[in-house]
Structure 1
Amino acid sequence: MSPDTRNVAEMDPLTQTRTAAAAAPSGDLRAEAERALRALVGSDDAALREDQWRAVEALVAERRRALVVQRTGWGKSAVYFVATALLRARGSGPTLIVSPLLALMRDQVAAAGRAGIRAVTVNSANVTEWDQIHAAIAAGEVDVLLCSPERLNNPAFRDEVLPRLAADTGLVVVDEAHCVSDWGHDFRPDYRRIRTLLEDLPRGTPVLATTATANARVSDDVAEQLATDGADVLVLRGALDRDSLRLAVLPRADAATRIAWLADHLGSFSGSGIVYCLTVAMAGEVAEQLRAAGHDVAAYTGQTEPAERERLEADLAANRVRALVATSALGMGFDKPDLAFVVHLGAPSSPIAYYQQIGRAGRALDRADVVLLPGPEDRAIWDYFGSLAFPPEESVRATLAALAEAPDATASTARLETAVDLRRSRLEMMLSVLDVDGAVQRVRGGWRATGAAWAYDAERYERVAQARRAEQAAMEEYERVSDGEPRRAQEDRDSGSERPHREGGHGCRMAFLRAELDDPALEPGWRCGRCDVCVGSWLAPLPTGEEVEEVRARIERPGVEVLPRRQWPTGMAALGLELRGRIAEEERAEPGMALARLDGLGLAARVRDALAPRPDGQEALQVVPADLRPAVRAVLTQWTPGVDGVVLVASERHPALVEHLARGAAGVLGVPVVGQVAAAPGTSAGRHDVNSAQRLASVVRRLELDLAPAARAGLAGKRVLLVDDLTDSGWTLTVAARLLRQAGAAAVTPFVLGMR
């Protein structure tokens, strides 16, 4: 380090800003920046785009804060790695990059290494390395630290590592910064904690926020949150057209038709790509069907193990597979410049999410194909995920009260489950939001109430919900874009969607997406000249007839294993129940079977319809629908559980349906219906959308055996088929099986119509 540079590093931030800018004339600094870029990308003729250079200049010479909103593949990561190289050369501390996904972190560490930048990551996949990494940071041996937003609120990291980073960091980068905005609380609540981090930075510390998926509302919100203490924020928004992408939409169709089309035409796409599905179950089933049709594909979801995810990403990057059939878990951060196609079997819930996902394709290709095959189940899936938004005020207040009453106002998540009726994932999301809001604090072993006043921001949560509904309506509108079709359909107005009219999207799919993202470069009347609306469809029509029926027969093959519960939830004693540890083998259910998963394909739609609530004034379905009976018979005869009798779980939702299912199963197996597990007098079914401990407590207090004396006397040593309509948490089947086993049954095997 030169003496001049050392002196600059020791000055106060304002003097440092002026001196650094004067010491590095614009021309010299740009030349230095482009040398760093060439090292980063491994190309001797690489040059910075004008907005890339403007951002680097703002960060390095002016020590400003900047928001860069540019299309996927534009080179946003080059900005912060080049800026890091220049800042480190001038004596600045390490760069902190808040990055949302492991795939993104792996790619960024590799990119930094190519430029000689020492980058490390702290995430859930390298826990054993954390102490070593923290020591390297303290010793000044790290140029870049990448961490997840949740890591900012890990007690040890927040209290021991983050203060040193905030004091010494040379640059803070917030990647995928749209998650900072209001709507992001559903995705990564701890992104909102970044504002606190920014407020603690020394004055003059440069900050860069980047995203490809922000409309004007989100961009303004993120820029406002960057502007702590009146900081000047440079906003650079570029054109969002992706001139390599060729967009098309096929008519809405059922799953069998869409899979048949894809199985026939996957081979016609060049290169390798991604097939997106809306649920984990769908991704697995579609991958299975495509493999059966001879395609080399694999499923990739949020339930895929981290090591397997990394292997699958590498396989796709090296074209060792034709496609990954993925949920949105394969999204932000996956970088394959020659990804040749993206197909969606089912539409994402917003044009913003859709643009982000299709942006994986065509970064280094002249053409990449993007095809949407929407399904009739899309809106139901959107509604389900929307139902998992921020909980109602009474649930939040109950959580705060439970914390306040706990010893030292501190409790683990498991302990809170015994006092609050929220599922674990939703409870943890809510606690993260409360943490950001200052009402609670994450501590070792759980959560602590701070005692700070907290107000339920119903207006904000409703605003987020309205934005979500408007985005769903816009996604359905995208499907209908055609030359000459009105931009806003009457059905949207009838549904109460409050969507502003946007100019520029009429008659072109890419123009529609650019308009939805408020692309500042979109000119009135612009058309891409590539999509199926601009030039006509180049896709084969959806199939009919025999090939569809062959797929339908495969995906409607009935039977999904129902695994028994093996462990009681923690803390049941707090609910007055002495249930702890492993469920005794002699009280446990056997592995059972469901006709279909409700979030799957094939039979799932018919099972969902059979179990769906009926309109007011109409009774629930009285019998198993005729078109499901062959599937019931097939599962029971092929599975052959070998039972001596049938016991049903009396249902409040579908009493006649469950009785009909039980008697039908008994007839197929040639055994009698010997009784039921029913509700104790004066009890009700209780809610199902609650956490595991609360659901178990409700079930234990409600269920009891209802067997005739002769049936109870003859139960010893018998094998029982336990019949119900639906399994969700699994506790009804677990408790019912335990009652039967305690009464002498040798084995209890569950059979249900649907599994959620």
Structure 2
Amino acid sequence: MTSEAPTDAAVRARAEEHLRALVGRPDARLYDDQWAAIAALVVERRRALVVQRTGWGKSAVYFVATLLLRAEQAGPTVIISPLLALMRNQIAAAERAGIRAVTVNSTNMEQWDEVHRAIAAGEVDVLLVSPERLNNPGFRDEVLPRLAETCGLLVVDEAHCISDWGHDFRPDYRRIRTLLDDLPAGIPVLATTATANQRVTNDVAEQLGKDTLVLRGSLDRASLCLGVVRLKTAEQRLAWLADHLAEQPGSGIVYCLTVAATQEVADYLRSRGHQVAAYSGQTEQTERLALEQALIDGEVKALVATSALGMGFDASLGFVVNLGAPSSPVAYYQQVGRAGRGHDLPAGGASVVLLPATEDRDIWAYFASLAFPREEVVRETLAALADEGRALSTAALEPRVDLSRTRLETMLKVLDVDGAVRRVRGGWESTGEAWAYDADRYARVAASRAAEQQAMLDYLATDECRMRYLRAQLDDPEVLADLDWRCGRCDNCGGLSLPTEISADAVEQAADRLARPGVPVEPRKLWPTGLAAIGVSRSGKIKQPAGEGRAIARLTDLGHGAALRGLFAADADDGPVPVPLAQAMVTMLRDWQPQVDAIVVAESERKPQLVADLAAGLSRFLGVPVVGRWAVVDLSVGPDRGATNSAQRVAAVSRRCALQLDEPDAVRERRVLLVDDRLVTGWSLTLGADALHAAGAAAVLPLVLGVSG
């Protein structure tokens, strides 16, 4: 740590005046590490990395430093901030201290020209920028160079995102390395995070530069009381929430691992009389803001949320409950850090409860499958751009590569930073530079992720202090140096006693809710763009889309999802529909009551017995005949070909399948139930419905056992 020189006393005094204005407390004083960071930035004009717990006051460091630097006629501070929620809170905090703060992000495009004008006129003290802006061609080529030359301080918030060893690595953050190299000498840089182990800390510090001051503090959260409640079934976990949510102090967050679970859990809790709402990345922006404010104001007991309600949400919350475990202790530490941040918490502190589930590992495996693509897929993408010889938009490139748009976009960002492609107006272009696939590094990252998952499982089973365990996973030097340290607050230390009893009524209602089958299967209404580029003559609207269909459940659902995951597991044997799922199908059909005259079954290479038994059972129950097959006619096209990319999937299914009817007019003017075992992309059923309509069907309703994702 940098020692305080006597000549710095006046600077520190001014810094603490600014701090008191920022926090609104006349007795506020800087921590020693806060002052050390401010002195490094303002007095020494160097670079610093601050790794401190949530709520420690990292934002106070850069806001106070901004005021001191602006008083010396320095340019505006540029803060690279990952989430809009974080930006909103930071702007509000800055305004309390008289700091003029503005933002440039995807939600305020209409204000960009005004913001740029205000910056040029010297009317802005702080500019908050999303990392995605750094590689927007106009911003990167026109605005960023001027900012790099004139900014007084560069701040990288949530700096663990820079490192691909970090739990929340983001390719856009890698662009920051280039920005750092382009900064003129003497412009200070501050990077902050609450969730970085030593490996991530070293990686980020190396990217900042060899003279970087690193300040790591204690990651203990004295206001948090950690505990784990292990229950066998999903209905028991839901019942525990229903019975004990009201006992949790204040308002808080119930975290779920999937979007579907947030909706399912929120619906159940509302039926049990709790004021809750679902929140995820799919929640519309205006509604997000309203829900966040309702939680802050205590108008709801809880938001049932995915990790989309995470970094940057600044509120005084009394509890966090995780229904399902995140895939790493570091990610878990970040989520529970949303609680216990205020000064008006109950005497017992904030309650942090984890309700793990057996299906957690299946969900972890799904997200792990979205890692950096295989080398041959990357090479295909580079070749497609090189062969085109001009810029291609992501939408135009997508049909040529077997990747979903999200994965393709992420991969292109990595290739951009690696110098193999360049983002320009109109899309992406090849640079022609050689590119090497770093298989060893990707393998090490994958191994690191696997180790993190095992560490999370060990957290559930440990009998040692839970806060100590989390801090040790983050390489907190304080607990590594003191092997006897205990928090005294968690369930293993005896400071927290969590009830395990659940009422029979709550279990029964939860079981009824989870056992209720029926998920709408929404028809696709538009063909993917770019099909012509891969030889498929379809475009625009689908002339006769299928009607709304049904599935028993999603594979990620809490109820029938477990049975469906087992049924479709890679090592599961083929066979008839299991009795519980057959009973669920009957219940769903009685609720749905589809008006159909005939059944056509989609053949399955992997589960022929399952699909045949399903179709036969439906024929008996509905009293209508099976009149044809959406048949597999080209076995050279694998069943999963193109499954991650809509255009590629349409092309693959068009080759693989064809409609085969028992009689030429078997479906003419008839309402057809198109039956498949599982919906993954929806394109096989879409093409099957299209073929049935071409054969004269009056209507087509899809029906599947389960929906993936």
TM range (shorter): over 0.9
Would you say 1:458 and 2:436 are equivalent positions?
A: no
Q: Is the 8 A contact 1:258 1:542 kept in 2?
A: no
Counterpart of 2:292, as a letter, is E
Q: Is the 8 A contact 1:561 1:593 kept in 2?
A: yes
- The counterpart of 2:26, out of the listed 37, 44, 53, is 44
How far apart, in 1, do the equivalents of 2:440 and 2:168 lie? 16
- The counterpart of 2:361, out of the listed 345, 355, 379, is 379
How far apart, in 2, do the equivalents of 1:185 and 1:122 lie? 26
Match of 1:472 in 2: 453
Would you say 1:87 and 2:69 are equivalent positions?
A: yes
Would you say 1:598 and 2:598 are equivalent positions?
A: no
Correspondence list, 1:626-705, <5 A: 626-684=579-637, 685-687=639-641, 689-705=643-659
Q: Is the 8 A contact 2:80 2:130 kept in 1?
A: yes
Change (3 A) 1:186 1:393: farther
Match of 1:216 in 2: 198
TM-score for both structures, normalised by structure 1:
0.91
Correspondence list, 1:401-420, <5 A: 401-408=383-390, 410-420=391-401
- Shift, 1:138, TM fit: 1.9
- Shift, 1:600, TM fit: 1.5
Match of 1:3 in 2: none
Match of 2:522 in 1: 563
Match of 2:404 in 1: 423
Q: Is the 8 A contact 1:71 1:241 kept in 2?
A: yes
Question: Which range moves more in the overlay, 56-65 or 364-373?
Answer: 364-373
- Shift, 1:681, TM fit: 4.4
- The counterpart of 2:468, out of the listed 508, 511, 524, is 511
Q: What are the Cα deviations for residues 534-591 of structure 1, in whole angstroms up to 9, with x where unaligned? A: 116511115375532321111221000011001111110011111111111xx21001
- The counterpart of 1:28, out of the listed 10, 25, 32, is 10
Q: What are the Cα deviations for residues 502-554 of structure 1, in whole angstroms up to 9, with x where unaligned? A: xxxxx211111111111111111111111111116511115375532321111
Correspondence list, 1:292-441, <5 A: 292-336=271-315, 338-364=316-342, 365=345, 366=347, 367-408=349-390, 410-441=391-422
- Shift, 1:274, TM fit: 0.4
How far apart, in 1, do the equivalents of 2:367 and 2:538 lie? 32
Match of 1:489 in 2: none
- The counterpart of 1:190, out of the listed 158, 166, 172, is 172
How far apart, in 2, do the equivalents of 1:465 and 1:681 lie? 35
How far apart, in 1, do the equivalents of 2:274 and 2:506 lie? 16
How far apart, in 2, do the equivalents of 1:335 and 1:185 lie? 20
- Shift, 1:415, TM fit: 2.0
Would you say 1:707 and 2:661 are equivalent positions?
A: yes
Counterpart of 2:240, as a letter, is W
RMSD: 1.5
Match of 1:729 in 2: 681
Counterpart of 2:191, as a letter, is A
How far apart, in 2, do the equivalents of 1:88 and 1:612 lie? 60
Give SS of 1:339's match.
coil
Q: What are the Cα deviations for residues 377-419 of structure 1, in whole angstroms up to 9, with x where unaligned? A: 01111111011000010000110000000132x2111222222
How far apart, in 1, do the equivalents of 2:640 and 2:100 lie? 55
Q: Is the 8 A contact 1:567 1:581 kept in 2?
A: yes
Q: Is the 8 A contact 2:634 2:655 kept in 1?
A: no
Question: Which range moves more in the overlay, 125-134 or 56-65?
Answer: 125-134
How far apart, in 2, do the equivalents of 1:682 and 1:261 lie? 49
Give SS of 2:558's match.
coil
Q: Is the 8 A contact 2:402 2:642 kept in 1?
A: no
How far apart, in 1, do the equivalents of 2:40 and 2:102 lie? 25
How far apart, in 2, do the equivalents of 1:170 and 1:462 lie? 40
- Shift, 1:689, TM fit: 3.5
Change (3 A) 1:186 1:739: farther
Counterpart of 2:132, as a letter, is E
- Shift, 1:690, TM fit: 2.3
How far apart, in 1, do the equivalents of 2:613 and 2:281 lie? 37
Counterpart of 2:427, as a letter, is G
Change (3 A) 1:681 1:152: closer
Match of 1:525 in 2: 484
Counterpart of 1:597, as a letter, is R
Counterpart of 2:707, as a letter, is M
Would you say 1:256 and 2:271 are equivalent positions?
A: no
How far apart, in 2, do the equivalents of 1:260 and 1:51 lie? 45
Match of 2:507 in 1: 548
Change (3 A) 1:666 1:93: same
Change (3 A) 1:689 1:744: closer
Correspondence list, 1:66-145, <5 A: 66-145=48-127
How far apart, in 2, do the equivalents of 1:542 and 1:452 lie? 63
How far apart, in 1, do the equivalents of 2:155 and 2:169 lie? 19
Change (3 A) 1:511 1:604: same
Give SS of 2:673's match.
strand
Q: Is the 8 A contact 1:92 1:170 kept in 2?
A: yes
- Shift, 1:222, TM fit: 0.6
Give SS of 2:648's match.
helix
Question: Which range moves more in the overlay, 444-453 or 414-423?
Answer: 414-423
Question: Which range moves more in the overlay, 36-45 or 183-192?
Answer: 183-192
Counterpart of 1:441, as a letter, is R
Give SS of 2:262's match.
helix
Counterpart of 2:267, as a letter, is E
How far apart, in 2, do the equivalents of 1:688 and 1:283 lie? 29
Change (3 A) 1:210 1:682: closer
Q: Is the 8 A contact 2:555 2:707 kept in 1?
A: yes
Q: What are the Cα deviations for residues 105-152 of structure 1, in whole angstroms up to 9, with x where unaligned? A: 000011111111111111111122112212222222111111111110
How far apart, in 2, do the equivalents of 1:605 and 1:132 lie? 53
Q: Is the 8 A contact 1:93 1:168 kept in 2?
A: yes
Change (3 A) 1:185 1:320: closer
Q: What are the Cα deviations for residues 205-240 of structure 1, in whole angstroms up to 9, with x where unaligned? A: 10000000001111111111000xx4x111111001
TM-score for both structures, normalised by structure 2:
0.96
Match of 1:751 in 2: 703
How far apart, in 2, do the equivalents of 1:127 and 1:678 lie? 49
Alignment length, in residue pairs?
A: 698
Q: Is the 8 A contact 2:420 2:432 kept in 1?
A: yes
How far apart, in 2, do the equivalents of 1:519 and 1:468 lie? 19
How far apart, in 2, do the equivalents of 1:192 and 1:590 lie? 45
User: Which consecutive unaligned segments of at least 5 residues does structure 1 have?
Assistant: 1-20, 483-506
Would you say 1:270 and 2:224 are equivalent positions?
A: no
Give SS of 2:406's match.
helix
Would you say 1:580 and 2:539 are equivalent positions?
A: yes
Counterpart of 2:224, as a letter, is L
